[in-house]
Homo-oligomer: A and B are copies of this chain.
Amino acid sequence: MEILDISHLVRPFGVREGSVVLAESVGYFPNTVHLAVVDPGVGSLRRPLVLVTVEGSPLVGPDNGLLLPAADRLGGVESAWQITNRELGRPDPSSTFHGRDIFAPAAAHLAGGVSPSRFGPQVEAGSLVQLPLGKVEQAGDSFRGEVLLVDRFGNLQTSFRRTELGQLGLGPGDSVELRLGGRRLTAVLRESYSFGAPGELQVIEDSHGNLAVCVNRGSAAELLGVPAAGSTVVLARAEPDPEG
């Protein structure tokens, strides 16, 4: 059995951010037990879960929305189980570190062949906490989406995808308007970071197929502030500045 750490860099309490990292990772790991813990509700009544997915790799973690986007990438939830069986965790679990006392032992038992049904009662998939990701809504000539993730380069991953650019009739080299945190900015559509001058504000299709707001050889997060995951961002065709 091999253990791989995908990330320990999700910000504290960043359930939404963690759910993006997880969803974007699971596709690269066939036949894997995925353990994810971003768990501000640890010790409360939120349920500890084992999710069996249609494509087979199970997910282990808290019922706070963290796991569902990843389950969607794996074909959806086939069955969901609440972890209640104390014999499959550490004795006397703490009320503050279920990652160590409940979730990691459960993931290890799953990897060792224990059947999901042994962890506890089955749970209705419809009752699981949802934290919808990636909403994009059209509003006239613009699209309203959200910031999904800020990476360590300061790139802001958004819920927009290439589709929105097509609908706006925009392509590489075109300018685009962004509204974010009360500011209105103009960025240039580029095929990768190094097109355009250093310091240029850019919109780029990132390696997950999402549009990202970037600064060539710089940090968009530093330029724009670090918006919380879930912040609204609007994408529109850039209009000529009437005062410019």
Expressed in whole angstroms, the minimum distance between the Cβ of A197 and any Cβ of chain B is 13
Kindly identify, within residues 81 to 114 of chain A, every residue whose CB is under 8 Å from any CB belonging to chain B.
94-97, 100-101
- A43 CA / B191 CA spacing, docked (Å): 7
Chain B residues, Cβ within 8 Å of A212: 96
- Central interface residue in A12, A44, A207, by most chain B CB within 10 Å: A207
- The count of chain A contact residues (Cβ–Cβ below 8 Å) is 28
Chain B residues, Cβ within 8 Å of A40: 193-194, 217
Q: Does A53 contact B (CB under 8 A)?
A: no
CB closest residue in chain B, given A100: B207
Oligomer copy total: 3
When the two chains form their complex, are residues B96 and A192 in contact, meaning their CB atoms are under 8 A apart? yes
Q: Does A152 contact B (CB under 8 A)?
A: yes
- A154 CA / B193 CA spacing, docked (Å): 30
Q: Does A66 contact B (CB under 8 A)?
A: no
Q: Does A205 contact B (CB under 8 A)?
A: yes
Chain B residues, Cβ within 8 Å of A146: none
The answer, among B42, B96, B153, B192, for a CB contact under 8 Å with A95, is: B192
Q: Does A181 contact B (CB under 8 A)?
A: no
- A28 CA / B194 CA spacing, docked (Å): 34
